[in-house]
Amino acid sequence: MSKSPADGKETRRVAIIQSAYVPWRGFFDLINRCDEYVVFDSVQFAKRHWHNRNVLKTAQGPSWITIPVASKSRFEQPIDAVEISEPWAEKHWKSIEANYRKAHCFSSVAPVLQRLYEACSRENLLTNVNEILLRGLLEILDIDTRIVRDSAYEPTGTRTDRLLDICVKAQATHYLSGPSARSYLEEDKFREAGITVEWMDYPDYPIYRQLWGDFTPAVSIIDLLLNEGPARPDLWSGALLGEGA
């Protein structure tokens, strides 16, 4: 539990988000503001989304790395059922190594990341890969937010009702949502349940040192870690920038 700065009462802030492959620093900022992050992988997998791909910075510019998955004729499959279609982990690691071996913190961070990729190479489901990497990256960043899968709460309903059901079962007092949900989330249902809805407002994160020319902000957290190391929460934590949720 955390304390509300307004009245000193105990709060329990929960976020419910689909998993992503080595996501950007804002994803970790959001999780760090919460007491619990619920991996929302019982919802439909979307092609060309962040579920199975992200961006590295290379000498040729921003470059996608994508986990190959079986999606043909599986139009409505949930994320937690998506299968990996061919070996990928060694290829991705070699790409990271080739593009970041000269990064300032490569020698200290790379061994930990490499072990995570080795563990992922033995997994067949995308959701398991994302969880292994997420938990490993959270440990590197010293974020102790509780991680639980949505299936643990056996949620019912759809859209707002499903999110609310999870929040009630998780005993949330506050629900921190990404901004994209504004178009459909029915906040009044949360108010009626006594749960405060908060909207993540990503701050202007600081520029940090990178390889390969001008600064590129929209990249995986791996870029930040290999260039600056884990001991720079000021580079990814909005709370330290005066943007606390």
pLDDT 10s digits, 74-131:
878 999 999 999 999 999 999 999 999 999 999 999 999 999 999 999 999 999 999 9
The two three-digit tokens of residue 199, written as one number: 């909207």
Cα distance between residue 147 and residue 24, in whole Å? 18
Q: What is the pLDDT of residue 228?
A: 98
Q: What is the pLDDT of residue 72?
A: 82
Is residue 70 situated within a structural domain?
yes
Q: Are the CB atoms for 75 and 46 separated by under 8 Å? A: no
Packing angle of the helix pair 221-228, 106-120 (nearest 10 deg):
140
Is residue 170 situated within a structural domain?
yes
Other CB atoms closer than 10 Å to residue 30's CB: what's the count? 21
Q: What is the pLDDT of residue 42?
A: 96
Q: Which tops the pLDDT comparison, 64 or 9?
A: 64
Q: What is the pLDDT of residue 3?
A: 40
Q: What is the pLDDT of residue 74?
A: 83
Q: What is the pLDDT of residue 1?
A: 52
Mean pLDDT of 31-50: 96
pLDDT 10s digits, 175-231:
999 999 998 999 999 999 999 999 999 999 999 999 999 999 999 999 999 999 999
Is residue 119 situated within a structural domain?
yes
Range of the structural domain that residue 47 is part of: 2-240
Side by side, which strands form the sheet with 36-39? 146-149, 36-39, 13-17, 174-177, 196-199
Q: What is the pLDDT of residue 238?
A: 86
DSSP 205: P
pLDDT beyond 50 at 243: yes
pLDDT beyond 60 at 59: yes
Other CB atoms closer than 10 Å to residue 86's CB: what's the count? 9
pLDDT 10s digits, 116-161:
999 999 999 999 999 999 999 999 999 999 999 999 999 999 999 9
Is residue 245 situated within a structural domain?
no
Q: Are the CB atoms for 72 and 103 separated by under 8 Å? A: no
Domain count, the chain: 1
pLDDT beyond 90 at 4: no
Q: What is the pLDDT of residue 75?
A: 78
